[in-house]
């Protein structure tokens, strides 16, 4: 994203200043709703075309969203909304004027006119002026400058203070509040029972699963797969994952099944053990399961010796035995000849070693695992540690009389009552009719489980801490609930991180706990 309108360089500004009286200042002029405004050049960082924005829930109405400006997160604000002017569709003439008064903000204007030099003696007060906006937001008036009979000088400092009055206070308190809630959440998790957590997926119409602790992330199957010479059919090749090389193995081929004709739903499970990682290609990912150990049985010895079943160590019986999920043993998987061949061939044919930390996809202490999901056209995520499981939304939820409006209903989760809320409603977004893509994400909050309905679950993503940065503090709720952002600049992608500990306030926590009991 490059600057659209060139601003004078520091050198040229100094040169111009040397030729002008000391009382002369430079201003950028622009229009909004047929009104002409100006701002002093000093705080204007640059002027850019209208960027793509990620909408932010619970932010002030004037905030259109967040944009990526050369790797930095930039809030984009509608000047029309801020000034109470009628809204119009943004067209190709619109520009974002980036103002930095403590925190950079991009203000969308209808059109940028010019840069003008004005003698201070020509700037008048705003007393008695009749304008379409609140004159408290003005700091002066310029007459007969350029082609304009009257130009209003906007006081962006006052404007920002009015719209974002809590910014400074929130930024001051954010670290202290966040650390306290995080410590509480960590303590809550220590008391959780040791059920088995699995990522389930389909291969040839059969359901399988891998323990979630071995799944580093789940990504789409890229079209850019580099074939490895002299490899068997089950070794698909290698793909690039964050500048590292990931060997890909097809479970369909390992299970002696024909290749899938439709790969649009195919996913890659990045499976890791010790310092080795491999991409296991599956037909599609179903859900994250949390099952009781009493529902898991060891694979019968006779079947375990069969070649097709050698990688399967246990069977999980769900829904009164109507649903069987085969659990793949990671130890057996990495001893499989197909996996060994993939790792060996990739190591031979690349300059990047795959052992002892050489594999760029292996987890490090600075990586964070996230479950990414969608609400509308935006992506959000929560840390995987707080996700207990992911369920399909039943045809109907059981309504609880006198429950809070935020509670959609309850479901029976293995004999326990699970309160379910619509995350769209919690974030003040427009609700949608139920559909097959929606899922219930079961989150651990303050020691209790609560389900949140999301539009769809996208993937499990492993992100280096270097790509996670604080979000601009746009409101008090936003500053705690959405305090961090994943900024994937190369992918032109931003993912808003939700702090699950702040999804429910104390009153809601009490109501949800009462429903669950």
Any idea where the domains of the chain sit in the sequence? Answer: 3-165, 196-349, 367-516
pLDDT at position 128, please? 61
CATH topology agreement for domains 196-349 and 367-516 = yes
pLDDT at position 107, please? 95
Task: Provide, rounded to the nearest whole percent, the portion of the chain with pLDDT above 70.
Answer: 79
Is 81:62 a contact under the CB 8 Å cutoff?
A: yes
DSSP string, 172-229: HHHHHHHHHHHHHHHHHHTT----EEEEEEEETTEEEEEEGGGEEEEEE--S--BPPT
Q: Is the pLDDT of residue 94 over 80?
A: yes
SS3 content of the chain, % helix, strand, coil (to 5): 25, 45, 35
Q: What are phi and psi of 286, to 5 degrees?
A: -85, -70
Distance CA 359, CA 351 (A): 11
Q: What is the mean pLDDT of residues 426-441?
A: 90
Superfamily of domain 196-349: CheA-289, Domain 4 (2.40.50.180)
Q: Is the pLDDT of residue 419 over 70?
A: yes
pLDDT in tens, 134-171: 677 888 888 877 777 788 898 888 888 877 765 545 44
pLDDT in tens, 180-227: 433 344 444 444 456 888 899 999 889 999 988 888 888 888 767 877
Distance (Å) of CA 430 to CA 119, 131, 232, 424: 50, 35, 50, 7
Exposed e or buried b per residue across 240-279, where buried means at least 16 C-beta atoms within 10 angstroms of its C-beta: ebeebbbbbbbbbbbbebeebeeeeebbbbbbbeeebbbb
How much is the mean pLDDT over the chain? 79
Class of the domain covering 3-165: mainly beta
pLDDT in tens, 31-56: 999 889 999 888 898 999 999 999 99
The DSSP letter of residue 54 is: B
Is 38:151 a contact under the CB 8 Å cutoff?
A: yes
H helix or E strand, kind and range, residue 455: none
pLDDT at position 172, please? 46
| Residues counted in the chain | 517
pLDDT at position 387, please? 92
Q: Does residue 433 or residue 403 have the better pLDDT?
A: 433
Distance CA 128, CA 489 (A): 48
In this structure, which topology does domain 367-516 adopt according to CATH?
Answer: OB fold (Dihydrolipoamide Acetyltransferase, E2P) (2.40.50)
Greatest Cα-to-Cα distance within the chain, rounded to the nearest angstrom: 96
pLDDT at position 178, please? 40
Q: Does residue 371 or residue 17 have the better pLDDT?
A: 371
**pLDDT band for position 26 (50/70/90)?**
confident
Distance CA 22, CA 120 (A): 9
pLDDT in tens, 231-251: 667 778 888 776 677 888 888
pLDDT at position 234, please? 76
End-to-end Cα spacing for the chain: 52
Of 122, 155, 109, 150, nearest to 136 by C-alpha is 155
Strands in 323-415 per DSSP E: 323-328, 367-375, 378-383, 387-392, 407-413
Distance CA 89, CA 381 (A): 30
Q: Is the pLDDT of residue 354 over 80?
A: no
pLDDT in tens, 294-319: 888 887 654 444 444 467 888 888 88
Distance CA 332, CA 441 (A): 30
């Amino acid at each position: 994203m490059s600057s659209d309108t060139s601003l004078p360089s520091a050198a040229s500004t100094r040169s111009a200043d040397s030729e002008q009286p000391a009382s002369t200042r430079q201003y950028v002029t622009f229009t909004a709703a047929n009104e002409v405004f100006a701002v002093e050049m000093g705080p204007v960082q640059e002027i850019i075309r209208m960027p793509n924005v990620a909408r932010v829930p619970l932010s002030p109405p004037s905030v259109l969203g967040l944009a990526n400006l050369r790797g930095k997160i930039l809030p984009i604000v509608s000047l029309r909304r801020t000034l109470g002017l009628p809204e119009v569709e943004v067209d190709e003439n619109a520009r974002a004027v980036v103002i930095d008064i403590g925190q950079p903000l991009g203000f969308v204007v209808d059109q940028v006119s010019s840069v003008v030099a004005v003698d201070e003696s020509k700037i008048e007060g705003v007393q008695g002026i009749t304008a379409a906006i609140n004159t408290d937001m003005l700091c002066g008036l310029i007459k007969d400058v350029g082609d304009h009979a009257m130009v209003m000088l906007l006081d962006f400092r006052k404007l920002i203070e009015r719209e974002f009055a809590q910014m400074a206070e929130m930024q001051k308190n954010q670290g202290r509040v966040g650390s306290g809630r995080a410590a509480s959440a960590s303590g809550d998790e220590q008391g959780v029972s040791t059920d088995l957590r699995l990522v389930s997926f389909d291969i040839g119409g059969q359901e399988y699963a891998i323990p979630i602790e071995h799944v580093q992330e789940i990504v789409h199957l890229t079209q850019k797969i580099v074939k490895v010479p002299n490899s068997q059919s089950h070794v698909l090749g290698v793909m690039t994952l964050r500048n590292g090389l990931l060997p890909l193995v097809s479970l369909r081929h390992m299970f002696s099944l024909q290749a899938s004709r439709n790969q649009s739903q195919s996913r890659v499970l990045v499976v890791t053990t010790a310092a080795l990682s491999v991409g296991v290609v599956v037909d599609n990912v179903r859900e994250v399961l949390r099952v009781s150990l009493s529902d898991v049985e060891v694979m019968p010895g006779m079947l375990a010796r069969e070649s097709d079943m050698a990688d399967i160590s246990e069977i999980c019986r769900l829904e009164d035995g109507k649903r069987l999920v085969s659990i793949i043993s990671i130890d057996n998987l990495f001893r499989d000849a197909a996996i060994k061949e993939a790792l060996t061939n990739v190591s031979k044919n690349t300059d990047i070693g795959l052992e002892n930390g050489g594999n760029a996809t292996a987890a490090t202490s600075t990586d964070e695992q996230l479950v990414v999901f969608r609400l509308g056209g935006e992506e959000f995520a929560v840390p995987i540690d707080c996700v207990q499981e992911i369920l399909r939304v039943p045809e109907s939820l059981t309504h609880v009389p006198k429950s809070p409006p935020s509670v959609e209903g309850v479901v029976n989760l293995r004999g326990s009552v699970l309160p379910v809320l619509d995350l769209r409603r919690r974030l003040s977004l427009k609700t949608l009719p139920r559909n097959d893509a929606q899922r219930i994400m079961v989150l651990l909050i303050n020691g209790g489980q609560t389900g949140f309905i999301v539009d769809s679950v996208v993937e499990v993503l492993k992100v280096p801490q270097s790509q996670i940065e604080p979000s601009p503090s746009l409101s008090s709720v936003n500053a705690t609930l959405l305090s961090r952002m994943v900024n994937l600049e190369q992918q032109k992608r931003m993912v808003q991180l939700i702090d699950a500990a702040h999804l429910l306030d104390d009153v809601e926590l009490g109501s949800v706990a009462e429903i669950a009991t």
